[in-house]
Amino acid sequence: MPILPEAEAGQIPTSIRERLAQHREDPVCSSCHVVIDPLGFALENFDVIGTWREFDEVGNPVDPNGNYPGGVEFSGFSDLRDWMLSRPEQFAHTLTEKLMTYALGRRVEYYDQPVIRQIVQEASEEEYKWSSIILGIVNSPAFTSSMAPSGIAANDTQFSSQIADSD
């Protein structure tokens, strides 16, 4: 990913929105940035440690407006939150896919989709509680039959207790 150029001496720094527009203009970057940037704008009122702000790091006013996939406009974090909450199954499915990728140490493949759908369906019965998604993943055949790290047996109780103790 190419690094965005810094402002020249004497030049007024641009907003994050203007800098990210450069990514969307670059064909190498645009395939991702055209999708993720609009949703990220809703979070622009939060700085890097999550503190609310009205102005960015160089003093430009924050513009938290954007568009959902499909082009519907939103204005800020509360609109984005409401939109996501109105789609709990879609959110839970995407979250489960991302957590499965992390848990399995590989990309989710087409053959993982039935398990993901099952996890999401079972989680829906518990109002998509975080714990129901996590338990669904760790109890899934994809996770329980995945290979242990090199040199560690799958039933190695010492390794299992080390993991439990690290929490």
- Tell me, letter by letter, the H, E, C secondary structure of 56-109: CCCCCECCCEEECCCCCEEECHHHHHHHHHCCHHHHHHHHHHHHHHHHHCCCCC
Query: Residue 159 pLDDT more than 60?
Result: no
Site of tokens 């998509």: 128
Q: What phi, psi does 26 have (nearest 5°)? A: -85, 120
User: In this predicted model, what pLDDT tens digit does every residue of 69-121 receive, in sequence order?
Assistant: 788 889 999 998 998 889 999 999 999 999 999 999 999 999 999 999 999 99
Verdict on whether the full-model pTM lies above 0.75? no
pLDDT at 161 over 80: no
Would the pLDDT of 21 be above 70? yes
Residue 38 predicted with pLDDT over 90 = no
Average of per-residue pLDDT across 146-161:
54
Query: What's the confidence (pLDDT) of residue 39?
Result: 86
Is residue 96 within 8 Å of residue 136, measured between CB atoms?
yes
